[in-house]
Chain A
Amino acid sequence: MTAYLANLATLVAIFGILAATLNFVVGFAGIFSVAHAVFFGLGAYAGAQVALQLFPDALLACLVAAIVAGGLSLCLALPALRVRGEYFVAASLGLQMMATTLFSEAKAFTGGIGGLVAIPRPTVAGVEVGVLPLALAALALILFLTARLQRGAFGRTLQSIRDAESAAEALGKNVAAAKTLAVAFACAGAGIGGALFALHLSFVNVESFTMDQSVLVMAMVIIGGTGTLWGPLIGAILLLSLPSGLAFLPFIPATEVGAVQQIVYGLAMTLLMIFRPAGLVGDLSKGRATA
């Protein structure tokens, strides 16, 4: 049981990183990206290649993953500078679809649909370590940085851009630089999550970095509470542990297990959004429809 819970906790920590970093651009900067899985994937492939081609040092893999994902975040930042709202959602959707195809086709880097197998277990300074402590440390670091940035001048600039971009620009805020930095930070964090994911699973392929994954991470942010520090983590815990918990129900017939789980899972999510529309940690006064 301990090993099972440790595995689940590792995935929760990795998806907590993803949700927290997505929340940084969605909740604080108002950039609604549905392409977060792209940077998760870039980090995963970069980290996996470091482990396969060089040596499986977790810190090096995370560093390379952060640089690759953060560097390529310009692909997301450039449209974010030109369009807003639903137009940006459409632009990021295009990026997600393009990246999924590239992940399938760039076989030398990604292994194509077959993916990369036999990724060695991670080490730190030559000693083999589990991914759980690394993922928890990375999650803590990202939450700490998020809290610091949120409370500082940079965070206030982002929130002013989110609430009234034109007003922020009129007040002399460098909107382009702030948005670019926010996206780079979030994507680099997603890249670290991806590297840890690859090292944890020892296998990665494109099926883990599709639109569905981006939507799942967005759901974690919304259900937990957009623009809050702890909400995305709560959302990650809920969305990963609920289906896992349902798997323990002993009375579901083997051939119906999937359907019953999906119905219960969907119902729980719907009820949650009816009664807590601003998310579990979000402001209760927000999100409700007014007559």
Chain B
Amino acid sequence: MTGPLIARRALLGTALAAPFIRPSFAQGSDPYVIGTLFPMSGPNGEYGKLFTDGAALAIEHARADGTLRRPMRIQAEDTQALPQQGVIGMNKLVNVDRAHYVLVGFTAVSKAVAPVGDRAKTVMVNGGAVGPDLAGLSPYFWNVIPLAHLETQAFLPFLIRRNLKRIALVYVDDPLGDAILGLLRTELPKVGGELAGTFSIPRTAQQFGPVAARVRQARPDAVYVASFGAQQAQIIKGLRDNGISQPLIGYSALSISSVTSIPEAEGVIFTSQKFDYTGGSEITRRFATDFKARHNADPGTYNANYYNATRLFALLARELERENAAVNGDSLRATLLRVREFDLVGGKGTFDDQGNMSAEIQVNEIRGGRVVPIA
């Protein structure tokens, strides 16, 4: 074997090994590792940035306030919103990065990583997916976002007050859509409303002309869109382009910029957690002000949810640091169940035995590309 060949192979070997070599830290200054399992690329990459921006601001605030003795750092893994990539990322976070706390989003990824986190006793917190089947996945799987059926339930009195009684539902045929369908079927008649028609669509559908024609025939007062991601904008555009002039309504997934920025979304009404950024608590106002200063844009629901998820870790870990207790999945969970109520963006967040947060719901309208609370 020639000298240059050996040198080349040695260089190649070193280069391949380099990513796995980590600097060692003294135990006392080890940062708390906040793992994130978000789609950072692909069609849902828009969400990953929204989620991360919220978490990053919470870390900055905790550092500025001296909330914790040790710093926090984000360790990001790209899931592309796919379960298989999520499991690979979760295994890395748990076994290599020794993450103390993992932020997750998207229903399928959440379900796929829950067994890994459960076995490792690592707390996983969802602030983005709202499928009702996410409740109770594991004692270590918590939700800091009211699940979709709770949002929809709170929406009904508003709809009746607005005289939007006949509702047509355009829904993705998945657990989220099924849950909203089931709720509208049972609860809408109880408050004096009526389900005028239900229109199931595949998750990958992009053309909505035929659906719009059937919606028009149903003569609804409003059309509820139960989808998520970029498809929502396509549905809204498809319905408007095909002559649907009735109000379009939905849930918190509509707060993303790919929806709010299109002209067809003007007047869309949707629910989300209650966030009063001007007259709310000091924590809420500070979040809104600093977020706007940093990103030159108003914060959205997902920014706030992942801010809350990260802030929740800081509050729990602070309690444990005061007791000189170890910060791990079991101690975090025990503290959550002991304290139960936390000051978060939007107000008090209260957690049930399964780690699901309940919060006040507000109704928003998209006006001029902005999300404006109206009730």
Q: Quick check: is B74 within 8 A (CB to CB) of the other chain?
A: yes
Q: Is the CB of A261 within 8 A of B111?
A: no
**Chain B residues positioned under 8 Å from A112 (CB to CB):** 173-175, 178
From the candidates A2, A104, A118, name the one contacting B203 in the complex (CB within 8 A).
A104
Stretch in contact with the other chain, from A87-95, A202-210, A217-225: A202-210
Q: Does any Cβ of B come within 8 Å of A3's Cβ?
A: yes
Contact of A4 with B95 at beta-carbon distance under 8 Å, contacts A245-B19, A254-B74, A258-B48 already known: yes
User: In the complex, which of the residues A1, A205, A246, A261 contacts B96, with contact meaning CB atoms closer than 8 Å?
Assistant: A1
Does the CB pair A203–B112 fall under 8 Å?
yes
Complex formed: what's the CA distance from A256 to B111 in Å? Answer: 25
B88 closest partner in A (C-beta)? A244
B319 within 8 A of A: no
A208 near B83 with CB under 8 A, answer yes
Query: Pick the contact of A1 from B53, B83, B95, B133 — CB < 8 Å?
Result: B95
Q: CA of A78 to CA of B189 in the docked complex: distance in angstroms?
A: 51
A247 to B96, CA, bound (A): 11
CB-CB < 8 A to B112: which residues of A?
201, 203
A117-B108 Cα distance, complex, nearest whole Å: 10
B131 within 8 A of A: yes
A205 to chain B, nearest CB (A): 5
Q: Which of B35-43, B239-247, B344-352 contacts A (4 or more CB under 8 A)?
A: B35-43
User: Closest A-chain residue to B20, C-beta based?
Assistant: A248
> Per a CB cutoff under 8 Å, which of B20, B88, B108 touches A7?
B88
Quote the shortest CB–CB distance from B12 to chain A (angstroms). 13
- Encoded as 1 (CB less than 8 Å from any B CB) or 0, chain A from 4 to 46 comes to 1001100100000000000000000000000000000000000
CA distance A68 to B32 in the complex (A): 47
Task: Mark interface residues in B159-202 (1 if CB within 8 Å of A CB, else 0).
Answer: 00000000000001111001000000000000000000000001
Complex alpha-carbon distance, A1 and B87, angstroms: 15
CB of B186, distance to nearest CB on chain A (Å): 20
- Within the complex, which residue of A105, A115, A202, A248 is in contact with B19, where a contact is CB–CB below 8 Å? A248
Interfacial chain A residues near B45, Cβ < 8 Å: 258-259
Any chain B CB within 8 A of the CB of A257? yes
Q: Which residue of B lies closest to A101 (CB)?
A: B202
**Contact A104 B108, beta carbon cutoff 8 Å:** no
Report if B16 contacts A (CB, 8 A): yes
Minimum CB distance partner of B76 in chain A: A254
Given contacts A201-B84, A208-B82, 16 further A-B contacts (CB under 8 A): A4-B91, A4-B92, A7-B91, A104-B173, A112-B173, A112-B178, A114-B133, A115-B111, A201-B115, A247-B92, A255-B76, A257-B40, A258-B39, A258-B48, A258-B78, A259-B40
Residues in B lying within 8 Å of A, measured CB to CB: 16, 19-20, 22, 36, 39-42, 45, 48-49, 52-53, 56, 74, 76-78, 80, 82-84, 87-89, 91-92, 94-96, 107-108, 111-112, 114-115, 131, 133, 137, 172-175, 178, 202-203
19 contacts between A and B (CB under 8 A): A1-B95, A4-B95, A4-B96, A7-B88, A112-B174, A113-B108, A114-B111, A114-B133, A114-B175, A202-B115, A203-B111, A205-B108, A246-B19, A254-B56, A255-B40, A255-B76, A257-B40, A257-B78, A262-B41
Nearest 4 pairs of A and B residues by beta carbon: A258-B40, A258-B41, A248-B19, A258-B78
